[in-house]
Structure 1
């Protein structure tokens, strides 16, 4: 085996110093806290959806609201990244 000692060798970077990990860790922490909060609230409540009144567990309503928030965030981040890639230099 030959040893490679050249300038192409990348410096070792810490796992938590990578940009993708730094963005993902807060999401995981907030998601964990949100899910604990959601599943601790198990009471049944009535929710008015414009006209109909729906009776459902509070955790279900919170989970739906959380999922819509994550979906909205994903759409906004996707649009933001596509705008940056199409920006003229």
Structure 2
């Protein structure tokens, strides 16, 4: 048994495929925030000192910001996956 299709070739009651169907307001917001975060990270290129429990580490600020952003993204993905 096959699903009914409309004249445009999409399934009745289905979602549109392609880029237009994928770009929801939430995804656009996340994309804009990600681009702004990357601009912020790569504009801050100076050296900084960071204390990691005991040792004092000198590293570029952009690398520290990128690392913290990636760790935050991994935690967010982990907890969103567990929520479902």
Larger helix fraction of residues: 1
Instruction: Name 2:8's counterpart in structure 1.
Output: none
For the residue of structure 1 that corresponds to 2:74, the secondary structure is: helix
Q: How many residues align?
A: 73
Whether 2:53 is the aligned partner of 1:29: answer no
User: Shift in Å at residue 13 of structure 1?
Assistant: 4.6
TM-score of the pair, normalised by structure 1: 0.69
- Unaligned 5+ residue runs, structure 1? 1-6, 82-89
Q: What corresponds to 2:63 in structure 1?
A: 60
Q: Hey, what's the Cα distance between the residues in 2 that align with 1:26 and 1:71?
A: 19
Q: Which residue of structure 2 aligns with residue 8 of structure 1? A: 4
In structure 1, C-alpha distance between the alignment counterparts of 2:81 and 2:52, rounded to whole Å: 29
Residue of 57, 68, 76 corresponding to 1:73: 76
Confirm whether residue 41 of structure 1 aligns to residue 22 of structure 2: no
TM-aligned CA deviation for residue 63 of structure 1? 0.2
The RMSD of aligned alpha carbons is 2.4
Structure of larger gyration radius: 1
